[in-house]
Amino acid sequence: MYYIDLDVLFDRQKRLDPPPQPPEKVLVVGCGGIGSWTTILFALSGTKDFVLVDPDILELSNLARLPFSPYDVGRPKVEVLADFIIRMRPYADIKVFSEPFQTIMDNELFLKVTEDADMIVDAVDRADISNKIVAFGKKYLPEAEYLNPNYDGYSFSIVYGKMKDMAETFSTREPGQGYTIAPSFSGTALFPAVIGLFVSEIIRKDTNIHKNSLKIISRIVGVR
């Protein structure tokens, strides 16, 4: 394995005052366009341990919004994402589960590998599964942070806070035109920048995360 000097790699981050404190271990449920970019950004910020959950196979259409290779089409998304992160951060420890979250959430092995997670990223596109993720987190990881970033073709939304303070109140939106309004590649271009702002403030333990990030985002997109 190629040796990476972490002091050199994260030299500029350490100059910040206070220095960033990325999550030690992140559980990511949903490894599509949103979950993959969020995972990649946490890996870039210094997080070393990940547990990835997604039952889906990478399809050719996914490559319009993900930085993966056509040669990865047909492979489980969790494996493709894990390989991508390992190429960037060979020291990362990544566990993958290619089963639906609701079928493994009470599994003994799954509970064992997630017992020390301090961040849960909910990147699924079904409200009923989000509610199960919240129930899981409140039961097993109440002190973990919860991050739910979402892009539905209309707008970005982010729910963030302590797991124990979350509520199982996600509901499905009325059917709409979705990506016929804003194509998925536009989300690919903007989403990493938007979620990157939130990740940067999360790892700096900034209590004004929403206010500060939204102020910067409004400048980027020209909203006053």
Each domain of the chain, given as residue ranges in start order, spans: 22-221
What pLDDT does residue 188 have?
A: 54
User: Does the pLDDT of residue 47 top 60, yes or no?
Assistant: yes
Say which amino acid occupies 125: D
**Percent of the chain scored above 70 by pLDDT?**
71
> Which residues, including other chains, have CB under 8 Å from residue 96's CB and lie 6 or more apart?
51, 52, 53, 76, 78, 79, 82
pLDDT tens sequence across 102-131: 999 999 999 999 999 999 999 998 889 999
What is the average per-residue pLDDT within 34-51?
92
- φ, ψ for residue 185, nearest 5 deg: -70, -25
Q: Which CATH number does the domain 22-221 belong to among 3.40.50.300, 3.90.1300.10, 3.40.50.720, 3.40.50.970?
A: 3.40.50.720
pTM of the complete model: 0.82
Q: For 7-37, write each residue's pLDDT tens digit.
A: 777 777 777 777 778 899 999 999 998 899 9
